[in-house]
Each structure stands twice: as structure tokens, then as C-alpha cells.
Amino acid sequence: MTIRIRPAEDGDAPAILGIILPVIRDGTTYALDTDMSDAAALAYWCGADKQTFVAEEGDTILGTYFIRPNQAGGGRHVCNCGYMTSATATGRGVARSMCAHSLTHAVSEGYRSMQFNFVISTNERAVKLWQSFGFDIVGRLPQAFRHPSLGYVDALVMHRFL
């Protein structure tokens, strides 16, 4: 499989929604309102404050990610990303490819660090993946996330320098 990552275009909106809506509705990995509208979801993922990318194999979009400054002002040198993979493509390295791309892109944009603000501690696949890329857990937010089936669980702040 060859995964190609490129900036999202307007015409990608249906494919992006096809990936992000199931993740949002599921409500186990992102702190987003599970009933948010399609338009609100798209506006969130492709907002003006973000650069949004898609990962495709041939003509099929398998994943999408965004990168943005994590804070304004004196915090603009730290970026933040969000990644989502199609449920049909899990375990095929799509998230890994997107993370690698985002780290390279972040350097080219002049960022000094990347921070994930709210990694759900029960999302072990994600925690391990980020750790394999050199991210450290720099904060643990006690019971910060109400998991639909597990109840209140911790969220992690993860960070690495670029």
C-alpha cells in the first residue's frame, strides 16, 4: 500500500465527513459533542485556524489530519494536531503515516514543538503510537473525560520537541 498525503480540497468534504462523523458519533476518543451537525463537524476539522490534510491510497481517502497553532501569542511556536482514520483502514499504518507527515510539515512551518492536549488514556493504541514517535506524557488530567461505557477516565497531555 502506498499512502499519499496531500492538502485537503473542497471536493474532499464528503470523504472527510465519512471519516470524522463516525469517530465523533462514537465519542470514545475525542472530546467533541457526539450530536454535532455535519456542517459543524466539517467547520471544526477544516476551520480557518487549521491546515487540513488527507491520506489516500489510489483514489480512496483513508484518513485525515489537521495542524494548527496550539495557542495564540506567546504560544504560537507549539502546534497541535488531530488525526482520524477510516474504520475500514485501521491497523494499516494510516495514522502512523499521517503523524510522520505532520512532524515533517510542522518543522517546515517553523514550529518548535508538537502537543496533544487531550489523549484519552483508554485509547491505548494512540498513546503507544505517539510514544513510538517520541512523545512524552507531560500531563495527566484526572477523570477529565467521560467515556460512554467506561465512565470518568484520565486524559493525557503529550508533547515532543521538533
Q: Does 96 bind its own copies (CB under 8 A)?
A: no
Minimal distance, residue 34 CB to its own copies, in Å = 6
Minimal distance, residue 2 CB to its own copies, in Å = 34
User: How would you classify residue 91: left for phi > 0, otherwise alpha for psi between -120 and 50, otherwise beta?
Assistant: left
Q: Which is nearer to its own copies, 11 or 73 (CB)?
A: 73
DSSP 14-80: HHHHHHHHHHHHH-SSS-S-TT--HHHHHHHHT-TT-EEEEEEETTEEEEEEEEEESSSGGGTTEEE
Q: Restricting to residues 29-68, name those near its own copies by CB under 8 A.
A: 30-34, 36
Q: Residues in the site for its own copies, rule: CB under 8 A?
A: 27, 30-34, 36, 70-78, 112-113, 115, 117-118, 120, 138-148, 152, 155, 157, 159, 161
